[in-house]
Each structure stands twice: as C-alpha cells, then as structure tokens.
Amino acid sequence: MLYYLHDKREEGESVRLTGDRVAWTTTRNLMCDDPEAAVAIMRATANDQDRLKVEAGIKNTGRKSDKCVYAYSLAWHPDEKPGLSRAEMERAADESIRAIGAEHLQAVIVCHTDEPQPHVHVVINRVSPEDGRMHVYSNDRLKLSEWSEAYERERGKIWCEERVENNARRKADGEYIRSNSPTPRPMAEDYAQAAQAANDNEASLIRDGAKIRVAELSAHSKQMYSRHRNEWAVLSKDYQDRKKLLGAKYRGKDNAFATAEDGVKRQYKNAWKDLFKKQNAETRGFEKRETRLMGKLENAIAAARYAQNLGRDEARGFLSMAFNFMLSGKKRRAVLEKAQAAERRELGAYQRRDIKVATAAVKIDRERDYFALRKLYNSDRAVLIDRQDAEKTAMQRRWTRLNEERKLSFGVLKRQG
C-alpha cells in the first residue's frame, strides 16, 4: 500500500512519502475513511484470521497462505476524462468488486493522476473480517474482462474491440483467446502436421476456406457490435435529451418553481398594496399631528400602544411610557416605523409560508416526472439488453458451429494423411 498511497520513487530512492499523484481515496467494509488507518485494520484482520475462524465455528485446517492482498486497476480512455466524476469511478470500482464476488471484503480504492488516462487501484484484503476465511478467486481475470465489456457497453462506447471479440469467441468454444488469429492455438500445430501428412494443395484449400469463413463471420460480428454500440448511444442520447427537458422545466428560466412562487406573490399583491396604503396614511397622519401639542400627545399615546404590542418595556406602566414618548418626537417616530416593519414582516412570513407550500407541490411533481423518466429508460434498457443478448447468443452459436465444422474438416484431412 505504500506504493499506492505515495508518489513513485525516483531512481536511488528507497522510499517516497509525498502523495501528489493521489487524487482521492475511499474504503469499503472498514470503519474509517483514512487510508493509513484502513491499511492497519486490514493488516490486523489478516493476522487475526485464525481467531476469526474459531469464533465463526470454522475448522482451522487446510493449507495456510500469506498472500492476503489482491490488487488490480481500472483505467478509462483519456478522452473520457472531461466528463468522468469521482462518483462514476467509485461506481465502477464497486461493480468490478461485485463481479469477482469480493463485495464482503475489506478494500481500499486509490485514484491516481500521474497518467494521461484516469485510473484507480483497488486493493482487497482476501481474509474475510466475518469468519477469517481466505477468499478464493476463480477465473477472476475473465470475469473482469466480461464486466469491462459490459461497463463500456453501458457507457455507450467500446474502447477495446479485441476484448469484445475474444469474449465472444471464448464463450462460443471455451478457448482462452489471446490474439485475433482465425486459427485457434490448439489447432495450429495440427494444421502444420496435417499439411505435411496429406496433400499440400488440399490442406491449403481447407485452411484458406476456414480463413474465409472466419473472416466473414468476424465481419458480421463486428457489424453487430457496432450496431449495438449505436443503439446504446441512441438510447443514452434520448434519455439525456429528456432529462434536459425536465431540467429546463424545473431549473431553467421561468421554471415551475418560479411560476409557483410568482403565483403566490400575485395572490398577495393586493394585501401588500393595502398594507402600504394603510401605513402611508398612518405616516401622513403622524406627521400632521406632530405640528400640534395635542397631536403630539396623541402620537405619544399611540407610540405607547405600539410599544406594548411590540413587547417593549413591559415592566413600565402605560402612562409612564406615554410620558416618555411625549418628551421625544424621534422616539415616537421610531416606534411607529418599528410597528410598521413588524406588520410587513408578518405579512411576508405568511407569503413565504404559502410559497413553501406551493413549491413543495412542485417538488412532488418533479420527483414523479424524474421517476417516470427513469422507469421508461429502465424499461427500454431492459428490452435492448434482452434483444442484444439474444443476438449475441445467436452469434456465439454461429462461432460454435463454425469451429465444429473446421475441426471436422481438419479431422478428415488428418485421416487422409
């Protein structure tokens, strides 16, 4: 883990403790997100496997192994980097872990930025924290290869055509394919021996015919996978276009939230108009009374009432407050302004409450619309997967038949030799 969590060592260095290339780390089935602490926990789990087995009631027998670490990396094409998020990289890492049946194990995922292609390293503790048993991987590389193909297909673009063809041929006849040669490796030596034992021209004709049939079927296979990619691209684009329309409805200019808010404001328009009209009349009356002694007394009494309503000077008597306000026109005017501001705040609170109710209804509509869109996409996606799976199965059968025909023809040639 020292290598994954720090920068690469320069020539002559025994250790490098900087970690500039580490973009982020995350953990699975661990009680912390700190990678150093996670490594310590994984190491303790591995060292404690005997006790874990005893507590789980599992016999501590069998051959022991100290190879507790399983690691692999996932890389994306450099062209995918602009739109690739951490969430998507974590999702891919989680899916790959499930593909090899290791989702119950402790793992650390490390993202590096030192290469043109975005990539993460997945480091798994093979010792189960539940029962101490060592996880056994079976055909893990092939499972990861098949998962990688499915993942690229889901994202709408196949970056590794050779992997697609190899997986198809591997499913068809069970061979471990490493190249694009039309002649499987186990048959290559037989071809050479048959050509020596039988008529050279006949062997050449059989082999050339096999090459032609393989080339034709390979072309059909490539066309099918190309069409499949296009179909995924069309489905993805249609889904994204529909999402954009919903986004415009709920996030763009004049969106549903703004419309709902404007509707409430229109309902309160007359209430605000009446309130401002009332307060303007109060202010004009206040200023007019301020020109007379008795008017000032009226304003002082009104100010005392306002103060009581606002909860000010509750310990003082009403007459005491009125006398105090009689002495200061500035205080009388300030209390009037505060009382009017309180009225505006109260009306504003009612308006905000009704806006909240109206926008809550819009949120429900938004969730329903996005749910319906996702449901439609999942339905179309399931139909596409089923149809393409059927076509791939048919293609695999064609490869199987072709391989059987080649083996049969080749067997005849050997017997003739």
Please tell me whether residues 72 and 221 are part of one structural domain: no
Of 138, 156, 176, the residue at which a domain comes to its end is: 138
Give the mean pLDDT of the chain. 81
Burial of 390 (0-12, 13-18, 19+ CB in 10 A): exposed
The verdict on residue 181 lying in a domain is: no
For residue 95, pLDDT over 80 is answered with yes
Q: What is the pLDDT of residue 198?
A: 39
The verdict on residue 157 lying in a domain is: no
The verdict on residue 167 lying in a domain is: no
Please tell me whether residues 222 and 103 are part of one structural domain: no
Buried/exposed 6-16: b ≥16 CB within 10 Å, e otherwise: bbeeeeeeeee
Q: What is the pLDDT of residue 97?
A: 96
Q: What is the pLDDT of residue 176?
A: 54
Give the closest residue to 360 by CA, choosing from 254, 265, 260, 262.
Answer: 260
Residue type, 22: V
Q: What is the pLDDT of residue 100?
A: 93
Q: Could you report how far apart the first and last alpha carbons of the chain are, in Å?
A: 59
Please tell me whether residues 112 and 208 are part of one structural domain: no
Among 153-167, 298-312, 346-360, the minimum mean pLDDT is found in 298-312
Of 138, 157, 178, the residue at which a domain comes to its end is: 138
Helices (H), 252-268: 256-267
Tell me how many domains the chain contains. 2
Q: Compute the average pLDDT of residues 307-330.
A: 66
Of 138, 155, 175, the residue at which a domain comes to its end is: 138
Please tell me whether residues 120 and 246 are part of one structural domain: no
Please tell me whether residues 196 and 283 are part of one structural domain: yes
Distance CA 343, CA 336 (A): 11
The verdict on residue 88 lying in a domain is: yes
pLDDT digits (tens, 9 = 90+) for 234-256: 999 998 998 888 877 777 667 88
Q: CB neighbours (10 Å) of residue 353? A: 11
Please tell me whether residues 116 and 202 are part of one structural domain: no
| 215: confidence class by pLDDT, cuts 50, 70, 90 | confident
Q: Compute the average pLDDT of residues 320-337.
A: 72
Residue pair 396/171 in contact by the 8 Å Cβ criterion: yes
For residue 8, pLDDT over 60 is answered with yes
For 223, the enclosing helix (H) or strand (E) is: helix 200-251
Please tell me whether residues 129 and 207 are part of one structural domain: no
Distance CA 306, CA 146 (A): 78
The verdict on residue 326 lying in a domain is: yes
Please tell me whether residues 237 and 295 are part of one structural domain: yes
Ramachandran assignment for 311, one of left (phi > 0), alpha (psi -120 to 50 degrees), beta (any other): left
Q: Which residue has the higher pLDDT, 396 or 406?
A: 396
pLDDT digits (tens, 9 = 90+) for 130-169: 988 898 888 888 889 899 989 999 988 888 888 888 888 8
Q: What is the pLDDT of residue 89?
A: 96
Q: Which residues pair with 122 in a beta bridge?
A: 72, 109
Please tell me whether residues 129 and 264 are part of one structural domain: no
Task: Find the domain containing 402 and state its range.
Answer: 187-417
Please tell me whether residues 389 and 322 are part of one structural domain: yes
Please tell me whether residues 134 and 214 are part of one structural domain: no
Q: What is the pLDDT of residue 205?
A: 55
Percent of the residues in the chain that have a pLDDT greater than 90, as a whole number: 31
Please tell me whether residues 121 and 236 are part of one structural domain: no
pTM: 0.43
Q: What is the pLDDT of residue 383?
A: 93
| 173: confidence class by pLDDT, cuts 50, 70, 90 | low
Distance CA 352, CA 346 (A): 10
The verdict on residue 364 lying in a domain is: yes
The verdict on residue 146 lying in a domain is: no
The verdict on residue 166 lying in a domain is: no
